[in-house]
Amino acid sequence: MILPTMTPSSGGPVPVDVHTKILGIETSCDETAAAVVVGGTAVRSSVVSSQVDIHARFGGVVPEIASRAHVDLLTPVIAEALVEAGLDGPDLDAVAATYGPGLVGSLLVGVSTAKALALVWDVPFVAVNHLEAHLYAALLEDPSLELPLVVLLVSGGHTMLISMEHHGHYRLLGSTLDDAAGEAFDKVARYLGLGYPGGPAIDRIAMEGDPYAIDFPRAMKGEGLDFSFSGLKTAVVNHVRKHPDASTADVAASFQEAVVDVLVTKARRAAQQIGAKGLVLGGGVAANSQLRERFLSACVSDGVHGFLPSREMCTDNAAMVASAAWYRLGSDGPSGLDCGADPNLRLPLLTD
Amino acid sequence: MLILGLESATAQVGCAIGGHEGVLASSHSARGKRHAENLTPAIRFVCEQARVELSEIACVAVDNGPGLFTGLRVGVASGKAIAQALRVPMIAVSSLDLLAFPLRFANRRIAAVIDARRGEVFWAFYRPVPGGVQRTTEPTVGTPEDLAADLLAQPGETLLCGDGALRYADRFDRPNLEIAGGDHAFPSARALVQLAHAKALREDWVRPHEIELLYLRKPDAEINWSTREGA
Ligand SMILES: [Zn+2]
């Protein structure tokens, strides 16, 4: 008999203020991270131990290898985060961890660790949705951002346009119908022999190429807020087959230009559509230089308050987990110690 | 000295507290593969039953495998976190040792056998010695047929225990072999606390970051990789 996964149970809201100190833990994929954030926005420490080098030779994240590394790395990473923050465990007001979505074996290391720490220090445990944490990355760095916000969340697993109307209240405006943007970067980079991870590799070589050399298709650019990137990958493959001498830098730059063009166009459209006060980027692909540049200039010309979280805050980190936990603790309260991991967790979306 | 033992290497997840007075309280559950969901509440429950505050714990013991990888990591990650937070040392005991230990009065060779899934088992041999058992072979992984061949090569009687022995009982159906019943299907947190206490008296402990898991199997990707590399 398989029992349904327990959703975090709520013990009622817990008052939070500018002094509330939360230890965040993030182990959903291949970054082992811990951070201490005070009052939801003041980052006292943020330690990230990346396993990128461990997985690079396999051309992608290997779940079992990631889980093994998390068990070895997490305790020292937490110790470092506490030392850097100048805090002792019992000084904390809560311990939070990502409980989904992500790789189940990796998530369980973080969740088990966080629950155990919360038990020893006798403080609340908060289970955090990884996607929600990404939404809070921008607010963490720029608390002056006003709601409603439109967040363009782009990573290896997700491509979403989300409106954040109130804290904890999200609406999905658009998402990818096939590949995530980051997935397209990885696949194209692998095809071009640029290695893994694909995002930074393409970003680098594209700087030497002509982004307008090849006019790759912009699927669904003209209308709506959904995305599709699988055709673009096929177009790159077909182009290289037909033109084996094409400069790799030009192909990479033109591919990147096509992705960025579609992402920025749709983000602007979304912000206009809901009358957003701000437009922000989040997720690993938001570290892409071309995307960052084009995004900011679009915000300036549209007169929207645009904000780009730092590269460290776009990629997976635990500060955003602690920040999201601060809001969750204040609105819903702690999670139960019987919480498990939910690898397929979705954002809690408004549907009306 | 109070020891907290966490055991989650098989389908069962358990927790126990004890010391020189023996095991004070324990909890075991073996349903639905809910290690992470069950373990933290079990620790709190066992503390309450034993009337022990976590701050009184002087050492955290964990089962470091071999076993089912994800479950194993739930116990080890929890144990490392508790030991780090309390600033106390840790003791690691193999799941196979935990299976064999309760059979120390058996008067014959013991084979501890854990179901490794994918048609394989983890096993090691033991012989009873005064006060416990002594492992005579290194923990290993292979098919039940490999183990049966191993047993055939050894004269004398052997008592098998563990969910691996029970699952593949038909492979071990021979006159000089006996399989211990269901009570000995899983390593227990009680045995963990008992064995860890003996080790603690010898100060045979490690710091949390020195805990090593006995996986005995490479991750699939690495296996594929070494095949591809011809290594
Ligand atoms: Zn992420």
In the reported structure, the alpha carbon of residue B86 is separated from the centroid of ligand 1 by a whole-number distance in angstroms of 31
A111-150 residues touching B, CB cutoff 8 A: 111-117, 119-121
Please give the pLDDT value at position A289: 95
- Nearest chain A residue to B30 by CA distance is A1
Binary contact (B38, A338; C-beta < 8 A): yes
Mean pLDDT in residue range A115-144: 95
By percentage, how much of chain A surpasses pLDDT 70? Answer: 97
Please give the pLDDT value at position A168: 84
Taking contacts as CB-CB distances below 8 angstroms, the residues of chain A near B44 are 119, 337
Binary contact (A75, B221; C-beta < 8 A): no
Measure B26 CA to nearest chain A CA, in Å.
Answer: 17
Task: Report whether pLDDT(A4) > 90.
Answer: no
Task: Report whether pLDDT(A124) > 80.
Answer: yes
Measure A78 CA to nearest chain B CA, in Å.
Answer: 9
Of A180, A347, A144, the residue nearest A263 (C-alpha): A180
Please give the pLDDT value at position A8: 54
Q: Which of the residues A92, A115, A196 would you substitute to probe the B interface, choosing the one with the greatest number of B C-beta atoms within 10 Å?
A: A115
Please give the pLDDT value at position A3: 34
Please give the pLDDT value at position B231: 36
Measure B35 CA to nearest chain A CA, in Å.
Answer: 8
Taking contacts as CB-CB distances below 8 angstroms, the residues of chain A near B34 are 3, 340
Q: Omega before A101 cis (within 30°)?
A: yes
Please give the pLDDT value at position A2: 34
Task: Report whether pLDDT(A307) > 60.
Answer: yes
Strand partners, A152: A161, A281
Rounded to two decimals, what is the model's pTM? 0.94
3-state secondary structure chain A: CCCCCCCCCCCCCCCCCCCCEEEEEECCCCEEEEEEEECCCEEEEEEEEECHHHHHCCCCCCHHHHHHHHHHHHHHHHHHHHHHHCCCHHHCCEEEEEEECCCHHHHHHHHHHHHHHHHHHCCCEEEEEHHHHHHHHHHHHCCCCCCCEEEEEECCCCEEEEEEEECCEEEEEEEECCCCHHHHHHHHHHHCCCCCCHHHHHHHHHCCCCCCCCCCCCCCCCCCCCECCHHHHHHHHHHHHHCCCCCHHHHHHHHHHHHHHHHHHHHHHHHHHHCCCEEEEECHHHHCHHHHHHHHHHHHHHCCEEECCCHHHHCCCCHHHHHHHHHHHHHCCCECCCCCCCCCCCCCECCC
A220-257 pLDDT, tens digit each: 999 899 999 999 999 999 999 999 999 999 999 999 99
Of A199, A193, A218, A220, the residue nearest A291 (C-alpha): A199
Contacts of B227 (CB under 8 A, 6+ apart): none
Average pLDDT per 10 consecutive residues for chain B, totaling 231 residues = 96 96 95 90 97 97 96 97 98 98 95 97 96 95 96 93 97 95 92 96 94 92 55 36
Binary contact (B80, A109; C-beta < 8 A): no
In the reported structure, the alpha carbon of residue A199 is separated from the centroid of ligand 1 by a whole-number distance in angstroms of 14
Please give the pLDDT value at position A12: 86
Query: Which tokens go with A244?
Result: 């084996």
| Coil vs helix vs strand at B154 | coil
Measure A262 CA to nearest chain B CA, in Å.
Answer: 35
Taking contacts as CB-CB distances below 8 angstroms, the residues of chain B near A119 are 40, 43-44, 54, 82
